[in-house]
């Protein structure tokens, strides 16, 4: 059973007693330890991976903060981006990050052959074979969105790796 399956199972476990073998308490403890330095990263992990709506406000706050920093840094470098709009940008980027599966191919990266349940050998033209919904921004705003989404992906991967290391 993978780390994500173990964590999802531990989240709803009725047995929170400590045992001789690795148990649900150990999994939950590993998750807590992985998030100690960056609790916001755990919020992103819980929203994206575990679909935990209770962490949405914390994830939104983190995206808004990252957007403000990114836009302020770009403005200092001569950009016309207005950091006062970081709240809207952060929320839009969070929404795009959470709903990133391509709507046409459903994330499988290829076109389904007409009239069959089989995939063709042609990449999905909507996502260019990435399986992810294209970002609907242009210019500097596209760069901000990409930066925020990359930061969020890195944060989630960091938490995932941290949990794995703690359970070894």
Q: Determine the 3-state secondary structure of 109 from DSSP.
A: coil
pTM (2 d.p.)? 0.82
pLDDT in tens, 68-111: 999 999 999 999 898 999 999 999 999 999 999 998 888 999 98
Whole-number Cα distances in Å, 158 to 14, 42, 149: 28, 9, 14
Q: Determine the 3-state secondary structure of 107 from DSSP.
A: coil
Q: Rounded to whole angstroms, how far apart are CA atoms 155 and 130?
A: 20
């Amino acid at each position: 059973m993978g780390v994500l399956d173990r964590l999802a199972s531990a989240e709803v476990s009725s047995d929170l007693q400590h045992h001789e073998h690795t148990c649900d308490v150990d999994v939950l403890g590993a998750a807590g330890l992985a998030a100690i330095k960056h609790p916001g990263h755990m919020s992103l992990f819980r929203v994206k991976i575990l679909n935990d709506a209770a962490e949405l406000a914390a994830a939104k706050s983190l995206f808004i903060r990252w957007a403000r920093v990114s836009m302020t840094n770009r403005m200092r470098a001569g950009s016309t981006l207005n950091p006062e709009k970081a709240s809207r940008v952060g929320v839009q980027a969070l929404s795009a990050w959470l709903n990133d599966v391509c709507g046409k191919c459903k994330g499988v990266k290829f076109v389904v052959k007409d009239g069959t349940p089989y995939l063709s050998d042609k990449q999905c033209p909507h996502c260019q074979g990435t399986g992810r919904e294209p970002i609907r921004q242009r210019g500097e705003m596209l760069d901000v969105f990409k930066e925020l989404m990359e930061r969020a992906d890195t944060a989630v991967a960091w938490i995932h790796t941290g949990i794995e290391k703690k359970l070894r």
